[in-house]
Every structure is written in C-alpha cells, then in structure tokens.
Chain A
Amino acid sequence: MSGNAAGGVIPLLEVLNISKLFGSFAACSGIDLKIAPGEIHALLGENGAGKSTVVKMLFGVLAPTSGEIFWNGAPVTITSPSEARKTGIGMVFQHFSLFEALTVAENIALSLDRNIPLSKIAQEAEQLSRAYGLPLDPNSHVADLSVGERQRIEIVRALLQNPKLIILDEPTSVLTPQEADRLFETLMKLKAEGRSVLYISHRLEEVQRICDKATVLRHGKVTGACDPRQETPASLARMMVGSNVADVEKVFSDASGPIGLEVKSLDAAGRSPFAIALKNVSLDVHAGEVLAIAGVAGNGQGELFDVLSGEYTVANNDAVKIRGISVGRSGISARRLLGAAFVPEERHGHGAVTAMSLSDNMVLSRNVSDRRAFLTGGALKIIRASTIKAATKRICDTMDVRKSGEDPAAGSLSGGNLQKFIVGRELDRQPGVMVVNQPTWGVDAGAASRIRQALVDLAKAGSAVLVISQDLDEIFEVATHVAVIHDGKLSAVYPAAEMDREKIGLLMGGMDAHREPAHVA
C-alpha cells in the first residue's frame, strides 16, 4: 500500500514503554507501539497476553502505571472514554456494550457525549451505516438483532464520532466468513479515508490478509513488531505462543461403531423472548467419531446443549437417544447414568460454582453417577470428603491443572486451568458419550491443545464425542464430521474431509452449501 513510507511521517499514535500493574501483577510491561496514519495495525497475541489491557489504556478505561502516549507527536493523557473520543480514538469492544431493552438509536445516543435530539441521531446513524455498507434500522430494539447486526451498531457508534483511529477487539469472532469479508471492505474504506485501524486478533490468516503492520504480545510484553505479510504463520505463531504448540493428532473413523448419541427431529421452543427455537434437528454420533457443530454465536448452540444434556427436557421422548435408549424426557442425572457426560459453555456459574473449592465442584456433576463412591450413610447421603479429594487430585495431575494450594476455590484458577479441570472431571468417568460446548473458549493455547487432544483420544478409545464450537480452527483440528447450526436448524452432516472454510461459511450464513451466496442483509 502506498503513502506510508517509513521515516519522515509523524505516527498518528505512539506508545512508549507503557506498563500496567494491578497490585503486584503486571498485566503488561514496557509496551511500545507505533501506528501511522492510514495504517491497519494488528495487535496479536493469544488469550491473556495483555492485548485488552493495552487497548483499555488507549481508550481511557484504565490508566497506565507508567509510560507515555503520543498523539500526532504530542504527549497526551487519556483519563476517560469521552476524552479518548475527543482525542480522536474510537473503540469497538469484543463484548458489546449494548442495552437490550433500548432501540438502536437510543444505544447510539448513549455513547455520544453531546445532547442531540434522538431523531437527528437516528437519521445520521442510518445514513452512516448505509454509507459504510453496514445497514441498520435505528428504531429496532437491540434484543431483536443478530450478533452481526449488533456489531454494526458498535461500529457505527464509533464512526459517528469521526475518529482518526479505530480500535477493533476480535471483531470476527462473532461473524461468518462472509460477514467478515464485508467488515474487511469497510476497513479498507476507512483506510482510504486516511483513518487508522488497530486490529486485535489471534487469527493469523486474517491478520496476514488485511494488516500492514503487527505488534505481537505474549505474557504482557512485546515479543515482536513486524510486517505480517513478510512472516509465515509459523513464525507469527512462535512470537505469539513461544514454543511450538503440539499439533493435535487426529483420528479417522469409518463410522461403523454403534451409535452413541442420536437426535431425531428435535423441536424445542425458545424458553425466553430472546432465545432461539430448535427446529427439526437430527444428527447421530457413532462410537469413535467426533462430530463438530459449527456456527456463529447466537444461533441456538446453547439451546441445543441444554436439550442434549437434559437440563431442559422435550415432550418427545424419542427425540434424543443415548446408547439407543430414549431420554428426551429424562433429566440430566438419568442421562449421566447411561454414561453420558457434559461440559457447558460457561465455566463460572454453570460448569462450576465459582466460590466453591475444586473438590466441591467434583460433586457437582458426579453426585448421581458416582454416588456409591462419593456418598455414604444411606438415605442421609453423607459426602465422603477424603474420597472426593483424592479424585480431585488425580484429575488435576492428569490434566496438569495449575492452581494455588491443594484445593482452592474454582474462581482462583485461570480460564484454561479451570476448563482443564472441568473437562478432566468428565473424562475421569470414561463416558461413552461426551457433549462439549465451546471447549476452548477463552483458554490459552497450551491448555486448548491439551483439551482438544483429550477429546480426540476419548473418541479414539471408542466414545461418541459431540463438540459445539465457534472456532473453525478447532473444528478442523478435532472433527471427523462437521455440521453447521443456523437459526436453530442443523445442516446435513458432512465428513470433515469434504468441508472447507468457504462451505462452512455459507452454511453459517444460512445458505445452502451448493448455492452462490445471495446478498446477506
């Protein structure tokens, strides 16, 4: 790209030696960053590397413990988001700051500092959204919008402030490949206008596609500053992760094992006004298979998991069968007794109780299946603390769970370690059927690799494994078969070898895999 010769051009944003300490914990230290005008700059790093912290400091949500920030060559102190906006920095967070009960226009109005009449905001927003290729209806309620549409609100919100630098935090994690392409077109438009983009991601392919420069973070420090197009994915990955992360060894199945999990014509109404209804879902997972269900967030994954686990039952008993036995109407305990195990998406407050110790959390999912080992005293059901503690230790050793102390509270573990524990807790039972929702969301690369390998090994040992995931890389790593969920409906199941990103993308967007993508609104 032209117009950005090194030297002689004052950087739009320069960050010198910035650090942020929380008590004694250094979230980031000695960060240097330089962004030129009209540049798309990537901030690379895996989960927990410190990217969000850096960016929060740029946006005034956190104050740096030390270091300086320069804007157009002059030093600035950014003490609040409104100051950041005034300076010319806009931000689109990964987790949207939206208000479900309010309209699009009201949501946008709240992020503007000036007191402008709502009708004017509605008008400007609508015009701007169309101009950038992200159309929005200002009077619709956020609660009714899809995830991709909600992201548009965030982007339009930021753009209305006329920023010189826009920060995007993991924007494609909630988009289909086609929606992501649209986003990239928008970014090119911004670049053509002379604005800069700070693009936070851990996805190497995207970064190499659209970014001019990249700064790589690991454990809160800069491990590299480069031009991503000159690097290979391996070299970038090494800067991000440090050592070479073990590849997952896959297993190939010939689908002749008995069916572990069978779903036939499953219908489930949405339980709340914002939930997705499941429509005519059918799938089966044979022993030795890993079936991965891909899909953008918010298309019924959680609802599907709930109905498969038995936390919520359906009227049709035959709709779900575990090892050939109809369980549609049975609860989660009955399904566990048949040898099924479940790992939900949320670690805190669902898969584990945050304030309770690890050994207490053992009892959470194993109180019925392991009642002979874990409980005693007949009707009194007294909990056998020592047996459970021993089991906890065994699981922590097997899964290499890093923790402080012998039996700490679940909340004190990092995301990756807690997830290893939760998955390990279920694997410890050697379940014949395993259903996992987002196995490695928010988990560091080392833990993620270990968890994925464990799932693959479980299938190899003869279990039927169902993985629901939003991470396409993960899906290609572990799956023997792939299906896609969209708006509560499941596509056909394809062998993994027949699938590619393009096909999955089409299905994620609701298109038939064989048709040309029509204009996705």
Chain B
Amino acid sequence: MTVFESILITIITASTPLLLASIGELVTERAGVLNLGVEGMMVMGAVVAFAVTQMSGSPYIGALGGIGAGVLMSLLFGFLTLTLVANQVATGLALTILGLGLSGMVGEPFVGVQGIKLPALLPPWLSDIPYVGRVILGQDLIFYISIALVFGVSWFLFRTRSGLVLRSVGDNHASAHALGLNVIGIRYLAVMFGGACAGLAGAHLSLVYTPQWVENMTAGRGWIALALVVFASWRPWRLLIGGYLFGAVSIGQLHAQAFGIAAPAQFLSALPYVATVLVLIVISRNRRLTLINTPASLGKSFVPDR
C-alpha cells in the first residue's frame, strides 16, 4: 500500500462521521429545525455502539444500537422543541450536555477495552485492484451508507413530493399548516432521521476510526458537522465536498510529521476548529446569499393555531 493510498484511507475514515452527521442535520434543518445536539447524539451513538458490540459480539448489531441511541436522543429533543415548544438553541445545548454526561457514565466500564472493528464490506479480492481497490472498495458498510445517503437525500429533497413537502415546511411553517400539512409530524421525522445519522456517525467513530471507547471521543465533530451544513448552503452535494475537505484537515496532524512539518501537536490539533471558523466567516459574509439559502423558518418555534 502506497503512502498516498494510506492517506486517502485515513481521510475517508475521518470524513465519514462528519459527512453522516451533517447530512442528517441537513435534513433536519431543511425542515426548519435547528438541532444543536448533534454532538450529544453522536457521542451517545459511539458509546452505545461500542457497548452493544461488546455484548453481542457483532459490530453490525452495534451499529444498529448506535442508530437507536441517536434516534432516542433526537426524540427527546423533538419532544421538547416540537411538542413543548422549548427554545431550540437551549434544548440542543442541553441535549449535548446530557449526551456527554450520560455517555461518560455508560461508557465507564468500557474504557480501555479492545473493540471489534467493523470489517470491510466487499470481498477481499476486490481490494487488490490498484488504487480504487483498497481505498474505495475496501471500506466498511457505514462508508457506503454515507455516500448513498448523499445521493438519496438529494434525490429525496428535490425529486420527490415528500421532499417538496419537507422543504416547504422549512420555508414557511405557517403556510404549510394552512395547507393542511402536518408540520409537527414532518419535523419529528426529520429530527429522527438526523438522530439516526448522528448515531451512526458516532458508531463509526467507535467501530472503525478507533475501535475503542474514549470519553468525549467525538471531540467537537458534532459542532463541525453543524458548520458543514452552513458551509454547504443546505445542499447535499456541497456537503460531500465539505465533509471530505474537513476530514482531510482534521487528519492533517497525523500526517504532518510524515511531511516534515514541525509544528507543535496542539496547533495541528487546533486546525479543524480554526478551519471551521474561517469557513463560516467566508460563507456567511454575503448576507444576501445567506438569506436566500437558509430555510426561512429555521429555528423558529411553531405552535399550530387551534
């Protein structure tokens, strides 16, 4: 395996959870809901996936567990913000704090335990094909799901009626309600999809990235995913580009030594966070564009008039 190939593989491994979490949040935000709890859902997905894998012996079942954890967390968020009409920003923060705390507790017995890695999905002989083989065809199931989701979400949002309905709810929930659309129900589904994706993203961390559980192992990836959605202007294809860009940056510190870059480790570790800030600045500067692209009812509470 060449150095180049191994770098590409690490980029893919680093980017997949970012892509997954952000595509889920993209759908949520397209429906008009701002869920800042991605970090909390992700870390819960990671710890539950790890725990379930240990208990069942199968990382696939573990991944399912991770998805389930994400969905449950998102339901909690949905209940507060959609049914009880609580402030979305504060609730998202609460979800993150809760997720970090709960995962720390649940994961305690699993610290230091050697995990089971999610295996490559396709038969090994495919990996012998130069370049494409090991890099693309030798990946785990979650990677393929993440790519498929970009296609799927894009098709769903722009080519199906349900996707049109979802976008309309995010554009103007009052009008959608007046037309008889079930705004709350649609938002619940969008939030749950976001939770499932975040949970799966977390599972990828503890099952593929490092098959281990470390407290707070998401290290802010959930927040970066939120920034990615803004960067992508709520469009799935741009998210693909953004996710991989950020994955590359976050893996930069691992490879800097190989390239002879002698910067302090902490500076390299700080790169993804600084990059996120810079990207946000660039993307948000143009107020006009921001106004056009942002789902108009994002973050606003909705109470159906009776």
Contacts and interface: CB of A to CB of B under 8 A. Distances in A.
Contact of A273 (B161, B172, B288): B288
Tell me the dominant secondary structure on chain B's binding face. Answer: helix
Interface string A267-278: 000001100000
A81 B175 CA distance: 13
A106 interface: yes
Interface in A69-104: 80-82, 93, 96-102
Nearest to A111: B179
B180 A81 contact: yes
B171 to A, nearest CB: 4
A204 interface: no
A362 interface: no
Interface string B273-306: 0000000000000001001100110000000001
Tell me the dominant secondary structure on chain A's binding face. Answer: loop
B168 A273 contact: no
A82 B175 contact: no
A272 B288 contact: yes
B161 A109 contact: yes
Interface residues of A, number: 22
Contacts of A102: 164, 167-168, 171
Given A109-B161, A273-B288, A101 B167 contact: yes
Interface residues of B, number: 20
Select the residue from A100, A109, A110 with max chain B CB neighbours within 10 A.
A110
A278 B178 CA distance: 33
B8 interface: no
Contacts of B288: 272-273
Nearest to B162: A115
Nearest to B178: A97
A93 B291 contact: no
B161 A115 contact: yes
Given A102-B164, A272-B291, A273-B292, A82 B306 contact: no
Interface string B174-186: 1110111100000
A22 interface: yes
A111 B180 CA distance: 8
A271 B296 CA distance: 17
A61 interface: yes
Contacts of B178: 61, 81, 93, 97
A115 B159 CA distance: 12
A22 B306 contact: yes
A241 to B, nearest CB: 27
Interface in A356-411: none
A413 interface: no
Interface string A299-313: 000000000000000
B295 to A, nearest CB: 8
B171 A97 contact: no
Contacts of A62: 306
B172 to A, nearest CB: 5
B165 interface: yes
Contacts of B180: 60, 80-82
Nearest to A116: B161
A273 B171 contact: no
Nearest to B295: A101
Interface in B130-169: 161, 164-165, 167-168
B179 A110 contact: yes
Nearest to A106: B164
Nearest to A272: B291
Select the residue from A96, A97, A102, A106 with max chain B CB neighbours within 10 A.
A97
Contacts of A61: 178
Contacts of B291: 272-273
A112 to B, nearest CB: 9
B171 A101 contact: yes
A100 B181 contact: no
Contacts of B306: 22, 62
Select the residue from B161, B165, B296 with max chain A CB neighbours within 10 A.
B161
B19 to A, nearest CB: 25
Select the residue from A60, A61, A93 with max chain B CB neighbours within 10 A.
A61
A99 B161 contact: no
A115 B161 CA distance: 7
Nearest to A83: B180
Interface in A108-166: 109-111, 115
Given A102-B164, A272-B288, 14 more contacts: A22-B306, A62-B306, A97-B172, A97-B174, A100-B171, A100-B296, A101-B167, A102-B168, A102-B171, A106-B164, A106-B168, A110-B176, A115-B161, A273-B292
Interface pairs A-B: 6 shortest CB-CB: A97-B175, A81-B180, A97-B178, A99-B171, A99-B168, A101-B171
24 contacts: A22-B306, A60-B180, A96-B175, A97-B174, A97-B175, A98-B172, A98-B175, A99-B168, A99-B172, A99-B175, A99-B176, A101-B292, A101-B296, A102-B164, A102-B167, A109-B161, A110-B164, A110-B165, A110-B176, A110-B179, A111-B179, A115-B161, A272-B288, A272-B291
